[in-house]
Amino acid sequence: MKQFRKMVYPYLVWSTIMIAVPMLLILLYAFTTQGNTVTKFLFTFKNFKRFLTDTTFLNVLYTSLRIAVETTVICIILGYPTAYVIAKFSEKAKLRWVLVITLPTWINMLVRTYAWTGILQDDGVINSFLSIFKIGPIPLIYTDFAVILGMVYNFLPFMIIQIYTSLTKMDYSLKEAANDLGAGPAKTFLKITLPLSMPGVISGITLVFLPAVSSFCIPRMLGGGSYVMVGTIIESQFLTAGDWNFGSAISLIMAIIIMISMYITKKVDKGEKVEGASV
């Protein structure tokens, strides 16, 4: 079988150039200053210092994290009951509903986000409806609300499917046992169903929080030109301002924050599991 081993070599070369080198370039640029040529490296923390000491940038970081957390929480609140209801259907109905929930995710994200721009306008459907009751127009587009709505709209199916998968994998005899032992529906849910579906919630959080915190097209389209998030700063550093060093440093900071939050989420999950076991 050794002759097949060689089949990996082309991809080893390819992935070194196309995946590893770009990551190293981000590191290289993040720790150097503008105007550095490749031949002379000047190690510096200036880019990080600039981001972490400027309150405007810190505010942007705060906004991004806040929007991403709010989006994730709303996705759990809406996604959990949806997954729960679907998981209780018959096998055939389940598959049909999973298709219904996932179908929109296959359609271009930009196209789906663009659809909201018409709905949320001052003279759009929602405000026209409200004007019947002599309310408004309420400013909807280019607000926090619009950005969070756009993110929930785009990422909710991921949350639903993750929770749904963990709910269907669950051993139903455990629930029956709890019922037999006298636990009410509420207690059974809190002590059995919820802890057992936690892995789904955790992977759902990963799939929602990660794209939410780094998104730049949703804030640009629904938040307007002056709405700033970490993603939009990185974009402008690279495509308009041209300060690649600073942009690299910001994306490194963002990557580290994402890694830390993923680590915390996993830790919290494990902690809860231990607790559940002791009960």
Partner 1 sequence: MSKKKRIGSKIFLGIIVLFLYAPIIYTMVFSFNEGKSLTKFSGFSFKWYEKMFSNDTMMEALFYTIIVAILATIISTLVGTVTAIGLSKSRKAIKNVVEQVNQLPIMNPEIVTAIGLLMLFSFIHFEKGFFTMLLAHIMFCIPYVILSVMPKLRTLNPNLAEAAMDLGATPWQALTKVIVPECMPGIISGALIAFTMSFDDFVISYFVTGNGVSNISILVYTESRRINPSINALSTIIVVIITVSLLLVNIIPSLASKKKSKVEAIKEENIK
Q: Which of 65, 69, 76, 119 binds partner 1 (CB under 8 A)?
A: 119
**Positive or negative: CA dihedral 118, 121, 126, 132:** negative
Residue 117 in contact with partner 1, rule: CB under 8 A? yes
Q: Which stretch binds partner 1 (CB under 8 A): 95-103, 138-146, 196-204, 271-279?
A: 95-103
Contact 244, 111 (CB under 8 A): no
Does 239 engage in binding with partner 1 (CB under 8 A)? yes
Q: Which amino acid is at 212?
A: A
Residues in 1-40 at the binding interface with partner 1, rule: CB under 8 A? 1-12, 14-23, 25-26, 29, 38
d(CA 170, CA 167): 5
**Should residue 186 be labelled a site residue for partner 1 when binding is judged by CB under 8 A?**
no
- Residue 97 amino acid letter: W
Distance of CA 22 to the CA centre of its chain: 23
**Which of 46, 66, 94, 112 is in the footprint of partner 1 by CB under 8 A?**
112
Q: Between 201 and 234, name the residue whose CB sits nearer to partner 1.
A: 234
Restricting to residues 53-92, which ones interact with partner 1 according to CB under 8 A? 78, 81-82, 85-86, 88
221 counts as binding partner 1 under rule CB under 8 A: yes
144 counts as binding partner 1 under rule CB under 8 A: no
- Applying CB under 8 A, among 248, 249, 253, 261 the residue interacting with partner 1 is 248
Q: 16: which 2 tokens?
A: 């070194």
Q: What is the rounded CA–CA span in Å between residue 69 and residue 208?
A: 9
Q: How far is the CB of 106 from partner 1 (least distance, A)?
A: 5
What are the C-alpha distances in Å from 80 to residues 86, 159, 219, 220?
Answer: 10, 8, 25, 29
How many residues belong to the site for partner 1 (CB under 8 A)?
Answer: 80
- Paired tokens of 259: 């890694």
